[in-house]
Structure 1
């Protein structure tokens, strides 16, 4: 058997990611991926035991990190001194920087959304990093509930609500053929909008007097 190399493994991941984006998860076969990267299907299986395993690796490589990098900020040195608003703002900015940046994260996410209705791709996506990241965010919500920064409620539900609010202004990208690029200033504003909506809601404050 040929010696497995990291260079070859990365080439397979790149070729498969491109093919999934072009024709979707269900239509992409291991045969087609092998043809795209060059080499035999047998060699491909030496690196990845199934298409599902290959896709899971792609999700971890390109897409799940839009949550895992953000989640890491919740426990990084110095995070304990930040307010809830500061923690959520940093989390949101890191998440959107990856999701809207120069990498296939959003394109792979679009593949997931498009295929989730007729395969287990959505479960693969969630289990490849999203679930653990949301659990970390839920822990922050739980701590905020205990300190009185948030009202009583389900921490995981709060985490899901916040994640949805931060991504709200980028959801339109799922329906566009050409993907625009957001500036750092635009990302900061979108996150600011999401954080404020989560913490303060849409009702006028001070009885509508300001």
Structure 2
């Protein structure tokens, strides 16, 4: 029985990433990947039960690993000890740093955009990264609603709105070749604007207008 190794798994993921980016998800085959990798389909399936599972591994390795770390940090924060604005800012800065400066992550995003209309790539990508981030933010804002720091509404919708604000100024980078570099100062400024805009619409409104909306 052959022993699986993390190094071999990582090599398969990197080879698959190159293949997906070169020919697209739909046209990529396990046969071709085995040929390029220099192994067999049996070896590939020993590590990944399907092409879908392999694609998820590519996404998690190259595009959303740092996002997952940011989500974990967000989940471990004591909401009472760190202000909501600071928590949102920390998460936003970690998220944007990946989205604007990681060339491998940008390449994966481009491939997802190109393939989403005619394959399951978009759904797989969303479930492997953005959905987890939105869920973590939803829990954060739900706790803030319970403390009456934010107005009561659907926390998932509010999380989606915050996520959209964070990416509003960088979405066009997927279509730029090459996208211009973004400094840490610019990242912080973009996140600051997103957080300020989010809180401006999310904090409880005072007076009769708020009462009428309840």
TM range (shorter): 0.7 to 0.9
Following superposition, the deviation at residue 127 of structure 1 comes to 2.2
Q: Which runs of 5+ in 1 are unaligned?
A: 202-210
Q: Which residue of 1 aligns with 2:128?
A: 128
Q: Which runs of 5+ in 2 are unaligned?
A: 202-214
Mapping for residues 18-167 of structure 1, pairs under 5 Å? 18-76=18-76, 80-167=80-167
Equivalent residues of 1:134, 1:160 under 8 A apart: yes
Q: Distance in 1 between matches of 2:3 and 2:87?
A: 45
Task: Report the count of equivalent residues.
Answer: 201
Following superposition, the deviation at residue 59 of structure 1 comes to 1.3
- With over 3 angstroms needed to count, the CA separation of the structure-2 counterparts of 1:178 and 1:23, relative to structure 1, is farther
Following superposition, the deviation at residue 53 of structure 1 comes to 0.9
Following superposition, the deviation at residue 78 of structure 1 comes to 5.5
- With over 3 angstroms needed to count, the CA separation of the structure-2 counterparts of 1:181 and 1:76, relative to structure 1, is farther
Following superposition, the deviation at residue 134 of structure 1 comes to 1.5
Q: Distance in 1 between matches of 2:94 and 2:80?
A: 18
Mapping for residues 166-185 of structure 1, pairs under 5 Å? 166-185=166-185
Q: Distance in 1 between matches of 2:172 and 2:125?
A: 20
Following superposition, the deviation at residue 47 of structure 1 comes to 1.6
- With over 3 angstroms needed to count, the CA separation of the structure-2 counterparts of 1:18 and 1:180, relative to structure 1, is farther
Q: Which residue of 2 aligns with 1:3?
A: 3
Equivalent residues of 1:48, 1:54 under 8 A apart: yes
1:145 aligned counterpart, secondary structure:
helix
Following superposition, the deviation at residue 93 of structure 1 comes to 0.3
Q: Which residue of 1 aligns with 2:211?
A: none
Q: Distance in 1 between matches of 2:79 and 2:97?
A: 19
The CA deviation string for residues 175-198 of structure 1, in whole angstroms up to 9 with x for no partner, is 122133211111111111111111
Following superposition, the deviation at residue 77 of structure 1 comes to 5.0
Q: Distance in 1 between matches of 2:80 and 2:73?
A: 10
Moved more, 105-114 or 51-60: 105-114
CA-based RMSD: 1.8
- With over 3 angstroms needed to count, the CA separation of the structure-2 counterparts of 1:66 and 1:169, relative to structure 1, is farther
Q: Distance in 2 between matches of 1:134 and 1:80?
A: 21
Equivalent residues of 1:69, 1:94 under 8 A apart: no
